Amino acid sequence: MSHAAPTARPQAHPRSHYRVFRSIGTRWADNDVYGHVNNVVYYSWFDTAVNAHLIEQGALDIHAGPVIGLVIETQCNYFAPLAFPQTVHAGLRVAHLGTSSVRYEVGLFAEDSDTAAACGHFVHVYVDRETRRPVPLPEPLKQTLETLR
Measured CA to CA, the distance from residue 53 to residue 35 in angstroms comes to 29
- Check residue 2 and give its pLDDT: 56
Extended strands (E) in the chain: 20-25, 67-78, 87-97, 101-110, 118-128
> In this structure, what DSSP letter does residue 131 have?
T
- In this predicted model, what pLDDT tens digit does every residue of 14-59 receive, in sequence order? 999 999 999 999 999 999 999 999 999 999 999 999 999 999 999 9
- Check residue 8 and give its pLDDT: 86
Measured CA to CA, the distance from residue 86 to residue 6 in angstroms comes to 36
- In this predicted model, what pLDDT tens digit does every residue of 89-131 receive, in sequence order? 999 999 999 999 999 999 999 999 999 999 999 999 999 999 9
Measured CA to CA, the distance from residue 78 to residue 93 in angstroms comes to 18
Are 88 and 44 within 8 A, CB to CB?
A: no
CA distance readout (Å), 24 to 35, 76, 78, 90, 109: 18, 18, 17, 7, 10
The 3-class secondary structure across 40-68, one letter per residue, is: HHHHHHHHHHHHHHHHHCCCCCCCCCCEE
Measured CA to CA, the distance from residue 78 to residue 117 in angstroms comes to 6
pLDDT level of residue 3 (50, 70, 90 thresholds): low
Burial of 99 (0-12, 13-18, 19+ CB in 10 A): exposed
pTM score, whole prediction: 0.92
